[in-house]
A and B are shown apart, each in its own frame.
Chain A
Amino acid sequence: MRSYSPFVVAKNSATNKYQGEIKMFKKTVLLSLFFTANCFAEVKVLPLFNGFFGYGNAFYKEQSGTPSINYNIDYVPALIFSDKLTLLPRLSSTYNGTMIPLEIEEEGNIYTQLWDNLIFTKAIHRINSDWTLRGELGVKKEMARETADETWGTGLYDYSTSHLEASLERRFAAAGQPITLTFGDRVFATTFPNYQSLAAGTTQYLQLAGKNVLDTGSNEIFIKAEWLLNQTFLRCQFGATQSNYSDQKIISAIDGHYLPDLRKDAYTNLSIGASQLLPSYNLPSNETGDKKFKAFLGINYESITKTSNQCLFDADKIFGEENYYSYRQNTISPSITLRFLPSNSDLSLSYDIVQKKYTNRLVQDVNGNYDTSGELIYQNSTVLNFKYAFPVAKSILASVSGGFRAAKSNMLYEKYFQYNFTAYNYMIGIAYEY
């Protein structure tokens, strides 16, 4: 296992490119900070703190996980240099100790625990009343324990990401209402330090297969618009992401041999959302008239399209499929939040309707035989989430939350992976915000 450094040394040329850019940016930021510190005689520090501590459990196909704690700590000592320049260093740690059974068809002690640690710095520079420039640099390390013999830091799917983002925001008025447009670019590298192909390096032939086959270097460009119309808030975002695998060769769908080209995945994501703040309503049987609630209605549509040039050759079935990992996913998410006054307690409900369609992956029957009529795999899911949060003291909120998910698919071969299942979870917790 390789050791982890916040600025992970890249293991290949493509990720090196991104890592190199990030290192360069890091130096620039440090130098900027040095000069900035000298330029601004008085720096106002505004600390922000969010903490959550919870206890809960998850269930998968009637199979219980192990109840455990979750926590999240988020600390941001905001440095306000002037009314034009603010720096947001952020430290965050999230732990999901709830042992969640995976959808692999196994019994007993299959679980995953996650522990994320993140550090980033975001600089916000207000150029003038119309333009704002933002820059962000960060690294994240996620450790996952998915099997009994994995300890923290040795998980097969531990990963690190390093990102660099720059965006420019333009504010103006449309129809007399404020609107913002943001353009941005985000470069990020993802590495799996504990995952190498088993085949790599063992024979001359299979050296062609690659070693660090999951590592990627990615670039995302995005545009975002937000429009405030009195009590209505509209938001639209479009992004395009190119992920290049630096060490994963394309597999021939005909006979499974490796081709010289490297794997490339491309994502496009479109998100359109609207939120509406409704007038206050008095609660029924409210004699004094001081008990009322506000309602926030929201609806969001998201479309994610993934195209991949990677194929799959099923060595078990001697069968190949092109563009095996490509899919399209549509999600519609209506939601409502009720804020009860004067208690300031919130009840939130959201309902996701998700449809995922693989664009070139054939359905298999329970025996693993590929469909001969060309029927492709889809999976429909519905997800219901709720949360009730209420203040118990100044800056302290207690909460109860839960979720239910049901997934149904036409894919019936589930030896390795479950496509049809139900799952639910609950969590009680307490949050502190400063």
Chain B
Amino acid sequence: MKIIRTGLKLSLCLALCVKLASFAAASEEISGPLGTLIGNTKNELRQEVNESKNREQMETIGVQDIKLGEYQDGKTLTDIHGNRVRLEQYVLIPKPNQIEILTYSKRDTGVDTLKAVYTLNKDIPKNIETNVPDVRQVGELDPKKWESGALADIQAPEYYSTNIESSVKNDKGDSVVFLAVDGSLYQVNDFSSNLDLYKYDVLYKDSYINVNDITKVRLSQVGGTPGTTTLGTLEWYLPKYLSTTNELSKTVTVDPSKKDGDPAKLIALNDLQTWAHTSSESYWDGTKIDNNSDWWKNMTVGQLLDKKLDWTNKITFADGTYLQQREAWLKDSGEELTVGSYFSLLRNLSPDNWVKNISELNHEGIWTATEFGDRTIDVLWSPSIFVKIATQDVSKNK
């Protein structure tokens, strides 16, 4: 737009030259005041027209300022194909104890929405100076990032989410919604460590995955004592085998206090038919990932590095429906990141550039489901909002 402004300046300069030329011609052609313009010569009439052109200046400046602001705010981007991408991100506080993160992205397929509402265990602290809720003081809400330690040493976080509503939607009525309600803090084993460490986590009485308002997965916690290591059991409800009415069946019951792979984790297989006909598949940049095969052995290092950071997970339910999620990392230009370029990026990260480099990556999620037909939900969002939370933690540590 500065180029356009340059054009404007140029036109103004040229208009000035025209004015000068007209002035010179007028001064030679007619005597008397320059303002005597209502005569019938062409030069005088042209001068009137030029004056009108000059009078458009404020209209033009206003429009250019608007466009400039939109670009400076990063609300309009262009992908690698030269196509328009629009992005709007909001952090909102619908209620004193809620944080809402909203992202709208518009591509040629329409407007898609990513929304996450976190309801906290208590109100967001208020800024002392302004007396309004200050989300910067809430701290880390992701239990995965909470610290672990000996059972007697770990501290319960001051803020945690008692309810989460996370959803992706397109503008054609399709949606995938994750709901988690009635959450409480528990002390759980930190299975990432071989030591006998514990950390706090939030377990929700009920969690749901809904596709177009149809519940596909329900997870219920039964029993358990909040604030302790007594977690109770988790019951999985999945679409019943051959059901045509979206009926759910209690399929399997597990013990959350046991590590994955521990035979004791499985308490009961409640519906063998449904369990047997529910399957999942994973693909990495088009290659099927199978834990029981050596799919990766035939791949050269070069092929590995050229693989895009593009994963697809598909779950097929026993009633014949499916839900698929594809995730990819992209640069601002729309180019998909490969393993090689990602390694290169990581190798070049330093304390003074990692925020910038990471924030230049965009995350794209694409959802498809039986209920969507040929439609998809395609959401593009920037991770920089999450980077920000991390940098605040870094600054706190300092």
Spell out A's residues near B (CB within 8 Å). Answer: 44, 46, 48, 58, 60, 74, 76, 78, 80, 83-84, 86, 88, 90, 96, 100-110, 112, 114, 120, 122, 124, 126, 132, 136, 138, 140, 142, 146-150, 156-157, 159, 161, 163, 165, 169, 171, 173, 178-180, 186, 188, 190, 192, 197-199, 202-203, 205-206, 214, 216, 218, 220, 226, 228, 231, 233, 239, 241, 243, 252, 254-257, 265, 267, 269, 273, 275, 277, 294, 296, 298, 300, 304, 306, 312-313, 315-318, 325, 333, 335, 337, 339, 346, 348, 350, 352, 366-369, 381, 383, 385, 387, 401, 403, 405, 407, 415-417, 421, 423, 425
The residue in chain A whose Cβ has the minimal distance to the Cβ of B351 is A367
Cβ-defined partner of B332 (8 Å) among A106, A179, A318, A421: A106
Decide if B59 touches A405 in the complex (CB within 8 Å): no
- In the complex, the answer to whether A312 meets B42 with C-beta atoms within 8 Å is no
Q: Residue on A with the closest CB to B86?
A: A198
Once the chains bind, are A333 and B46 in contact (CB under 8 Å)? Answer: no
In the bound complex, do residue B3 and residue A60 qualify as a contact, i.e. CB atoms below 8 Å apart?
Answer: yes
Residue of A nearest to B46 (CB): A48
From residue 33 to 72 of chain B, which have CB atoms closer than 8 A to chain A? 33-40, 42, 45-46, 48-49, 52, 55-59, 61-63, 65-67, 69-72
Check A100 against B4 for contact (C-beta < 8 Å): yes
Kindly list chain B residues whose C-beta atoms are within 8 Å of the C-beta of A86. 38, 40, 45
Apart from A148-B82, A316-B382: 13 A-B pairs, beta carbons within 8 A: A44-B40, A48-B49, A80-B40, A147-B82, A156-B84, A165-B55, A190-B62, A216-B62, A254-B134, A306-B65, A318-B136, A387-B17, A416-B71
Q: Which residues of A contact B135 (CB under 8 A)?
A: 255, 318
Task: Establish whether residues B4 and A46, one from each chain, have CB atoms under 8 Å apart when the complex forms.
Answer: no
Which of the residues A80, A156, A407 comes within 8 Å of B76, measured between beta carbons? A156
A265 to chain B: which residues have CB within 8 Å? 62, 65
A125 CB to closest chain B CB, in angstroms? 8
Interchain CB contact (< 8 A) of B388 among A198, A317, A346: A317
Q: List 17 A-B contacts (CB under 8 A).
A: A44-B40, A48-B49, A124-B48, A165-B55, A241-B62, A255-B135, A296-B20, A316-B359, A317-B384, A325-B65, A335-B16, A337-B17, A368-B355, A407-B2, A415-B359, A423-B3, A423-B6
B residues neighboring A (CB under 8 Å): 1-4, 6-7, 9-10, 13-14, 16-17, 19-21, 23-24, 27, 32-40, 42, 45-46, 48-49, 52, 55-59, 61-63, 65-67, 69-74, 76-78, 80-84, 86, 88-94, 100, 102, 104-106, 108, 111, 113, 115, 127, 130, 132-136, 332-333, 352-353, 355-356, 359-360, 382, 384-385, 387-388, 392
Q: Are B49 and A205 in contact (CB under 8 A)?
A: no
Are the CB atoms of B67 and A366 closer together than 8 Å? Answer: no
* Cβ B74 vs Cβ A415 within 8 A: yes
Residues of A within 8 A of B78 (CB): 104, 106, 110, 146-147
Q: Is the CB of B356 within 8 A of A199?
A: no
Q: Name the A residues within 8 Å of B33 (CB-CB).
A: 171, 173, 178-180, 228
Docked-complex contact A214 and B66, CB < 8 angstroms: yes
Given A48-B42, A60-B3, A124-B38, answer yes or no on A241-B58 (Cβ-Cβ < 8 Å): yes
Please, how many angstroms separate the alpha-carbon atoms of A124 and B39 in the complex?
A: 10
Main secondary structure of the interface of A (DSSP, over half): strand
Nearest 5 A/B pairs, CB to CB: A178-B33, A180-B35, A148-B82, A416-B74, A198-B104
CB pair A368 B17 closer than 8 Å: no
Are A46 and B20 in contact, CB atoms less than 8 angstroms apart?
no
Residues from chain A with a CB closer than 8 A to the CB of B89 are 315-316
The CA of A401 and the CA of B13, in the complex, are separated in Å by 12
A101 and B48 alpha carbons, distance in the complex (Å): 34
Q: Check A423–B45 contact: CB distance below 8 A.
A: no
Bound CA–CA A149/B76 (angstroms): 14
Give the nearest-CB partner of B353 in chain A: A367
Question: Once bound together, how far apart are the Cα atoms of A18 and B62, in whole Å?
Answer: 16
Q: Please, how many angstroms separate the alpha-carbon atoms of A46 and B46 in the complex?
A: 11
CB-based contact B130/A48 at 8 Å: no
The residue among A107, A316, A401 with the most chain B CB atoms within 10 A of its own CB is A316
CB distance from B66 to the nearest CB of A (A): 5
A126 CA to B130 CA, complexed, in Å: 60
Name the one of B13, B21, B35, B40 contacting A226, with C-beta atoms under 8 angstroms.
B35
CA distance in complex: A148, B78 (Å): 9
Q: How far is the CB of A341 from chain B (nearest CB, A)?
A: 12
Tell me which residues across on chain B come within 8 A of A163, comparing CB atoms. Answer: 59
With both chains docked as a complex, state the minimum distance between the C-beta of A252 and any C-beta of chain B, in angstroms.
8
Of the candidates B106, B360, B385, the one whose C-beta lies within 8 Å of that of A315 is: B385
A203 contact set on B, CB distance < 8 A: 102, 115
> Inside 8 A of B23's CB, which chain A residues have their CB?
228, 233, 275, 277
**Complex contact A150–B84 (CB within 8 A):** yes
Contacts of B100 in A (CB 8 A): 205
The reply to whether B38 and A126 contact each other, CB–CB distance below 8 Å, is yes
